[in-house]
Amino acid sequence: MLSTVMAITLQESLRAVFYAPFYVALARNAFAVEGVEIRFTSSPRPQDAALRLMDGTVDVCWGGPMRVMETYQQVAGCDIVCFAEVVTRDPFLLMGRQPRPNFTLADLKTTKLATVSEVPTPWLCLQHDLRLAGIDPATISRVTNQTMARNVEALKAGDVDVIQVFEPFPSLLLSQGAAHVWYEAAHRGPTSYTTFYTRRGTLVVRRDELLRMTRAIHRTEKWMARASGAEIARAIAGYFTDLPPAILEAACSRYKALGIWSDTPVLPRAGYDRLRDGLVSGGFVSPGAAFETAVDNALADSVVAEQLPPIE
């Protein structure tokens, strides 16, 4: 039975395959099964997502802790808190025109790289990888102002050597024999990429509903852990009607193999701090909201302790 209180307005920041667990939860009615009514909406622009939370347009967002830290930096009185992690590793890849089986980050010093312009996190994380490898990001020849779709065309035309993209672009390029995988950012380890987040007041006033949401997404995470890439693709196909089924399956299979989806809603400090380090070293925030400020794992810890079964 659905809750008798107002529906939770849940917002996605953009449509992306790496958000698959959220679409699975919606498609398989995971929230309704747990007794919480969801009104699903999309942010007009990714950078507006957290601001729409702050002004009361939406109740809960899914998106990056990057946006949470950005809002703490920019908005006085920010009280946003992440309360359930879903994407725990970086979903972006570097795709090159020529094979580079022994690729290292140092190879980027002699290439023309086109990075993501739609959102800042992919480059901020990659530039921190470069710094950790002893490479000054400023020495990389980089195209910064094109969309991923435009960069795909630039790669095919030979205007750039390597591009930074998320799925389904890698699977599309591979199916065409047009590019090769050079680097999968997921291999750096935990980097908290996507969570549910809300305002602290909402976390208090609507705690029961948010507990139910956390329960639903954890049961979905357990389903994802057991499902094949093909099963995941079939479950979310209604959200990606423009993609050929084989490409969507390949994309989901890659992400599952890379372990980008968490099997627990508990947001680890290591993943948060790794993300924060990249945002700080890239000059995006300073000093960045502390883990204790921007993360509350109480609901996640409670749900994990219930030892719930996967969704049906």
pLDDT tens digits, 167-198: 999 999 999 999 999 999 999 999 999 999 99
CATH number, domain containing residue 143: 3.40.190.10
pLDDT reading at 4 higher than 70? no
Q: Based on the fold, state whether residues 71 and 114 are members of the same structural domain.
A: no
Answer with the one of 188, 219, 244 that is the final residue of a domain: 188
Q: Based on the fold, state whether residues 17 and 63 are members of the same structural domain.
A: yes
Q: Average pLDDT, whole number, for the chain?
A: 96
**Model pLDDT, residue 100:** 94
Answer with the one of 164, 188, 212 that is the final residue of a domain: 188
Total number of domains in the chain: 2
Strands in the chain per DSSP E: 8-12, 38-42, 60-63, 80-87, 93-96, 112-114, 141-143, 162-165, 180-184, 194-199
Structure confidence at residue 2 as a pLDDT band (50, 70, 90): very low
Q: Based on the fold, state whether residues 85 and 120 are members of the same structural domain.
A: no
Q: Which two tokens stand for residue 98?
A: 């020529």
Q: Based on the fold, state whether residues 214 and 250 are members of the same structural domain.
A: yes
Answer with the one of 138, 154, 188 that is the final residue of a domain: 188
Q: Based on the fold, state whether residues 184 and 194 are members of the same structural domain.
A: no
Q: Based on the fold, state whether residues 81 and 107 are members of the same structural domain.
A: no
Domain extent at residue 222: 8-89+190-305
Q: Is residue 30 part of a domain?
A: yes
Q: Is residue 311 part of a domain?
A: no
Structure confidence at residue 6 as a pLDDT band (50, 70, 90): confident
Q: Is residue 2 part of a domain?
A: no
Q: Is residue 3 part of a domain?
A: no
Q: Based on the fold, state whether residues 144 and 247 are members of the same structural domain.
A: no
Q: Based on the fold, state whether residues 80 and 221 are members of the same structural domain.
A: yes
Q: Is residue 310 part of a domain?
A: no
Q: What is the mean pLDDT of residues 229-242?
A: 98
